Every structure is written in C-alpha cells, then in structure tokens.
Amino acid sequence: MTPYEVFEKLALAGVFAVVVWVAFGKLMPGLRARLRAALASVAARRGHAALARWLAPTASAGGCGSGCGSCSSCGPAPADAAGKTVPIRLHGIPLPPRS
C-alpha cells in the first residue's frame, strides 16, 4: 500500500466521520449533547482542560425556536407574525388556446 493510498483512506474516513457527526447532531441533538458531555468529562479527568472546554456542550433552555440555539434556529418567531393568518394567492399559468 502506497503512502498516497493511506492518506486517501484517512482523508475519506475523516470526511465520513464529520458527516456522520453532523447528521447525528441534526437527528439526535440530545444524545449528541450527552455524548459530548461524557467526552468532555473524560478529557477533564485526564488533564486536557482545553479539549474538555471545547467538547463541553453549550447550555440550552428550551426547544426548537426558543432562541436558545438548541436547534440552530435564529430565535423565536417575531411577535407580529405569531398566530397571524396570511391568505395564499395562487397564480395560474395561462394555457395555450385549443385548436
């Protein structure tokens, strides 16, 4: 096996790991937060304080849309749009005349 093949396999494994981690976080954010907390506590016990701070999950105080950042939302819905109904206008596509 050549060094290029080894590098190629390691690079692909790294890309795959990042993709799985992001998908895991989108589908199961609570479980990912618990996993990060566990990894941070292991790193802190072994004396890696900087790694433990980086791995420690941020505190969240609510569900999606509460502005806490738990689901990558930009905050709660604006107050003027909450509960307000907006009519939908449908525009038809003109059909060619039949001959």
Query: Which is more confident, 73 or 13?
Result: 13
Look at residue 40 in the predicted model and tell me its pLDDT. 92
Predicted local confidence at residue 3, as pLDDT = 93
Residue 63 has a pLDDT of: 54
Q: What pLDDT band is residue 19 in, cutting at 50, 70 and 90?
A: very high
Dihedral of alpha carbons 61, 64, 68, 71, sign: positive
**Residue 69 Rama label (left phi>0; alpha psi -120 to 50; beta):** left
pLDDT category at 5 given cuts 50, 70, 90 is very high
Chain segment 24-74, per-residue pLDDT in tens: 888 888 888 888 899 999 999 999 999 898 888 776 555 555 455 455 555
What is the per-residue pLDDT for 90?
76
